[in-house]
Amino acid sequence: MAASIGIVGCGAIGQAILREADAGKLNVPVSGVTSRTESTALEFLSTLSDPPPYLGPAELIKRSTLIVETAGGHVVPQLAKDVFAAGKDLMVISIGALLEHPEIIEESRSKGCRLLAPSGAIAGLDGIKSACAGRVDRITMTSRKPPRALEGAPHLVENEIILEGLEEELEVFSGTAREACKGFPANLNVSAAVSLAGLGPDKTQVKIVAVPGLERNCHDIEVEGEFGLLTIHIENVPSENPKTGKLTALSIIRSIRDAVDTVSIGT
C-alpha cells in the first residue's frame, strides 16, 4: 500500500496540514479527514482546490498508512487501539495522553506499529534524548504564557485561581510533568514531550507562570548532567487558537514529511 495519511480533527492544526497538502508541499497524499464536527470540517474542505474526502473513522484507517491525530487527548486511547488493530501507524499530537495511557506505547511496540510523537511547540528534544543516553541529574522547564492561553485549565478551576484582571505575573503551578499535563491538558503537551524524551514524567519539574501582556508562549528548559549544561529558550507566536503556538503546526507538517522520507537528520 502506497504511503498516505488520514487526519483526525479539523481544527487549527488539521487545517494547516490540509492547506499544506492542497499547495502540493506535503510530499504524501491525504486519504481523508474525519472530525467530531462534520459540518465544520466540510465547510473548511470546501475552501480547498482539491479537498480529500470526509470519511468515517474506520474507513479513514482502512485507506491510510499513517493516521495523524489533531483532535485532542480524549480521542487518543480508542484511536490508538483501532489504528494498531489495523496494523497502521499513528502520529499523536496530544502527547499528554501518552502519560495518562502508557499502555498505548506498549501496544505500539507489541504490535510493531510506529507511534510518532512530534516535538510540537518545543525544541531541543534531540539534545535531551542524547544527554539521557548518559547520566542526567535534572531537567526543569518553565512555561510563561498570557493569561488567556491558560483560561479554563482544570488546575486553575480546582484551585480557584482567577487570572482575569491579573496585573502582575503569577506562578500558577509548580510540580512534575505528569501533574502539569493533568492540570493543563490543553497547554502542556510540551512538558509531556520533554519528559518522554528525557527522565520521564515524574522526574521532570515544571513551572507555569501567567504573564499579563505577554504576546508569545515562552518555554525555558534546562538539562544538566555528565555531558554539561543544555539550555533551551523558545518564544512561540500563538496560532488562531491561543493555547497552541504556530510552531506546533509547522512541527507536525515537517514530521509528516520525515515519516515518509528515507533520509533522517538529527537524533
CA distances from 26 to 41, 99, 116, 118 (A): 20, 29, 17, 16
Q: Among all chains, which residue has been given the C-alpha cell 528534544?
A: 125
- Which neighbouring-strand residues pair with 223? 139, 230
Residue type, 179: E
Amino acid at 111: K
- Nearest Cα to Cα of residue 236 among 220, 218, 209: 218
- Segments in 72-176 forming alpha helices (H): 76-85, 96-100, 103-111, 125-131, 147-150, 154-158
Instruction: Please list the residues that pair with 129 across neighbouring strands.
Output: none
Residue ranges in 185-240 assigned as alpha helix (H): 189-197
Q: How far is CA 63 from CA 26, 52, 112, in A?
A: 18, 12, 19
**β-strands 217-225, 204-210: how paired?**
unpaired
Coil, strand or helix at 117? coil
Nearest to 78 by CA among 64, 92, 62, 63: 92
Catalytically active residues are: 219
